[in-house]
């Protein structure tokens, strides 16, 4: 299982990369079929940041979550929270079948 953190238009510090990596590690406990997680952090206009998390899972297309906030850390938290919900819903859908 691989987690890749990248930045667009911002200096990706070790602290930010480690924070995103730590938060994304928590996604693994919600679904065992996670194959890869890509995190793209970007600086957008007026000092805001955006985060995109793309998760490759078995038996499904990629799951994607987006968030935008004035704090990069809050942005990561929101995107992880949205992805958590998607993974839980997907797991429940598989159990129902």
pTM greater than the 0.75 cutoff: yes
**Is the separation of the CB atoms in 41 and 75 below 8 Å?**
yes
- What CA–CA distances, in Å, run from 46 to 16, 51, 71? 20, 15, 12
Quick check: 97 pLDDT over 80?
Answer: no
Determine which helix (DSSP H) or strand (DSSP E) holds 86, and give its type and residue range: helix 72-96
**Cβ atoms within 10 Å of 5's Cβ, excluding its own:** 20
Q: pLDDT for 19-63, tens place per residue? A: 999 999 999 998 888 999 999 999 998 889 999 999 999 878 899
Which domains, from first to last, does the chain contain?
2-96 (3.30.160.100)
């Amino acid at each position: 299982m691989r987690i890749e953190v990248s930045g667009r238009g911002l200096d990706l510090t070790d602290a930010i990369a480690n924070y995103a990596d730590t938060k994304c590690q928590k996604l693994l406990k919600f679904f065992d079929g996670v194959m890869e997680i890509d995190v793209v952090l970007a600086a957008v206009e007026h000092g805001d940041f955006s985060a995109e998390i793309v998760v490759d899972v078995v038996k499904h297309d990629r799951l994607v979550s987006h968030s935008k906030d004035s704090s990069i850390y809050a942005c990561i938290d929101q995107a992880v929270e949205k992805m958590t919900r998607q993974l839980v819903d997907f797991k429940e859908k598989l159990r129902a079948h």
